[in-house]
Structure 1
Amino acid sequence: MAQEAVPVRGARLGRAAGATGAEATVHGVVLLLPHGEPVSTRRQSPVAAAAARLLARRLAREGRPEGLVTHVVRYRYRGWNGSASHPVEDARWAADEAVRRYGDVPVCLAGTGMGARAALHAADHPAVNSVLALAPWLPEQRGRACPDPVKQLTGRQVLLVHGTNDERTDPELSYRLAERAKKINRDVCRFEVHTDGHGLSQHRAEVLALAADFVLGAVFARGYSRPVRDALAAPPPLGLRMPLAAGFGASLRH
């Protein structure tokens, strides 16, 4: 049987949100990497892209006064596709494109599920200064000696967030990755959203507030809220199992 040809298409950046327009000066960029599937050469899921736009709009609104622009990355294919790691290539292309458009500004990679894994892998791009990984998909590495790499996270600000009741992506695997990353990079922390699932919808307001606090603090080096500072400073396991408090974001930066 003839093997099905992989369609040839290019990655793209979605419409910019935030500090846009002729008079706007961009000082930072967030690239949103949506969730996908383990194997697929279909086009990106519109549902996953729409979910990423929700976070993109929140970050753009919060960061507009400081010159933040957000883009949702439109993958070539919705699948990771084994060793091809298509979304990682697309994330690196997107970082290159951000530099081409906006110059030498810090870039944050913010992903969900498969997109979170792509963000973690692509953190070695020289423009990337931070990574936000929400419910990262980190499949078991059966039969392989090496788990997902962490060396590329050195020198980056890294936040992982995972629901304790996530049945689609294993929160224990994100803890193990964070634990390995913390050994080589002190600027790694992880929050647990108790009783929440993969979509982090039960505590959406708190998760969005945490994401905005971390991203704006990392991109503009303006400091974090007390809970994030405490998580970064605490040794494992405390700083990697930090509970996200109900009402987070109601009174930040005290």
Structure 2
Amino acid sequence: MSCPGVDLVRHPAGATDLVLLAHGGEENSHADPHLRRPALLRMWPFAVVAQSAAPHAAVGLLRYRFRGWNDDGDAAIDLRAVLDELPPVISRVFLIGHSMGGRAVVAAGDHPRVAGVLALAPWLPSGEPLVALRPPVTFVHGTDDTVTDPAGTTAYAARLRAAGVAVTTYSLAGEGHAMLRRAKDWDRLVADFVGGTPAGGGSEHLPETDAAQVASGVGSIAWARFRLPVKERFRVSCESATR
């Protein structure tokens, strides 16, 4: 079992902000979430986007102990352990999560170091505990997603708004769970979030584009993976994630 931590692909000297990317996983699995899994690879283009949108911030990918969420919400536990033990110089963390990672960043989004949450096609099942998130909070989901339920995202956003939290939601017509048919739209929304573009706080439906972008989306994954090597690894103890 590997211990939770962060693979840093960018770490400017003196950086006080961290953009942390949390990848997807499975409902139940204690298998190793190795580096070659598609769920993790899909996050690499967003690391490139974040590097451009916030050049003075550190950028890293969250590393879990396990591939699955499991009964205890292991992915969220790991994220909280990382947030607790990051170096003191990191004062603000901007969380971006996809699928299970989207569920994790929402669950840990009330941590005092968190300065914003962006959930991409998040897995937010019925009855998911409501977390007191602090804006900016943005949820994005494709209308054709058959892996995680867009209605679950809409329902959770409504609960947050009822609790007084400003939430921006985007619905991407014709998009599925892998975020490849409209790769440029996902990149733009990540750039806006990381770059601090003010969100409207409402709901927006983005109509389907003329052409699928699957080929360019897949190409961007390969290009980003080789362009951004891991520069530094930060790990917390496995015991920290099981307290």
Structure 1 and Structure 2 fold alike (TM over 0.5): yes
Residue 86 of structure 1 pairs with residue 65 of structure 2: no
Residue 32 of structure 1 pairs with residue 21 of structure 2: yes
Cα deviation, residue 13, structure 1: 0.9
Q: Distance in 2 between matches of 1:88 and 1:63?
A: 25
Q: Superposed, which structure 2 residues align to 1:1-254 within 5 Å?
A: 8-17=1-10, 19-20=11-12, 24-45=13-34, 46-64=37-55, 67-82=56-71, 84-98=72-86, 100=87, 102-103=89-90, 105-140=91-126, 147-153=127-133, 155-217=134-196, 223-224=197-198, 228-229=199-200, 232=201, 239-240=202-203, 242-244=204-206
Q: Which has the higher contact order (CA 8 A, sep 6+)?
A: 2
Helix, strand or coil for the counterpart of 1:38? Answer: coil
Q: For each residue in 1:30-82, what CA deviation from the matched residue of structure 2 results, as whole angstroms up to 9, or x when unmatched?
A: 11110000000001143222111221121112211xx1111101100010001
Q: For each residue in 1:79-101, what CA deviation from the matched residue of structure 2 results, as whole angstroms up to 9, or x when unmatched?
A: 0001x111001111222233x15
Give the TM-score normalised by the residue count of structure 2.
0.79
Q: For each residue in 1:140-184, what CA deviation from the matched residue of structure 2 results, as whole angstroms up to 9, or x when unmatched?
A: 4xxxxxx1122321x332100000010111101100000001122
| C-alpha contact (below 8 Å) 2:107/2:131 kept by paired residues | no
Q: Distance in 1 between matches of 2:40 and 2:167?
A: 27
| C-alpha contact (below 8 Å) 1:128/1:156 kept by paired residues | no
Cα deviation, residue 200, structure 1: 2.0
Q: Distance in 1 between matches of 2:151 and 2:33?
A: 27
Q: CA distance change for structure 1 residues 117 and 106 in 2, over 3 Å: closer, same or farther?
A: same
Q: CA RMSD in A?
A: 1.8
Moved over 3 A (4+): none
Q: Distance in 2 between matches of 1:138 and 1:151?
A: 12
| C-alpha contact (below 8 Å) 1:123/1:156 kept by paired residues | no
Q: Distance in 2 between matches of 1:88 and 1:55?
A: 20
Long gaps (5+) in structure 1: 1-7, 141-146, 218-222, 233-238, 248-254
Q: Distance in 2 between matches of 1:97 and 1:54?
A: 26
Structure 1 or 2: more helix by fraction: 1
Long gaps (5+) in structure 2: 210-243
Query: Residue type of the partner of 1:74?
Result: R
The structure with the largest alpha-carbon Rg is 1
Helix, strand or coil for the counterpart of 2:42? Answer: helix
